[in-house]
Amino acid sequence: MFRVKFMRQWLIGGQPTTFPLPVFFFPQGFMTGCLQTYARKHMAAIDGLGFEYEVLLREPEDITEGPEDGVFLYGLYMEGAR
């Protein structure tokens, strides 16, 4: 139900400030779309781009503005970390 509610809100209210990664059936497609958006904005070759991650110590609902480039994601899980 959260998946449908999130997608409906995105459709009606515009791009959200944060994205819950588990709502996407194919998250790799969403991430590729993020790379394409950056490549088009900065006239860069998508083949030369990669991902960079930074862990934020804030709750998603506390973030009021999205980044200038990229996206804020939540719902990622780490396995096997020490």
Domain ranges of the chain: 2-74
CA distance 75 to 53: 13
User: pLDDT tens for residues 47-60?
Assistant: 999 999 888 999 99
pLDDT at 73: 95
User: pLDDT tens for residues 12-45?
Assistant: 999 999 999 999 999 999 999 999 999 999 999 9
Is the pLDDT reported for residue 72 higher than 90? yes
Is the pLDDT reported for residue 81 higher than 80? no
Strands 18-20 and 72-74: parallel
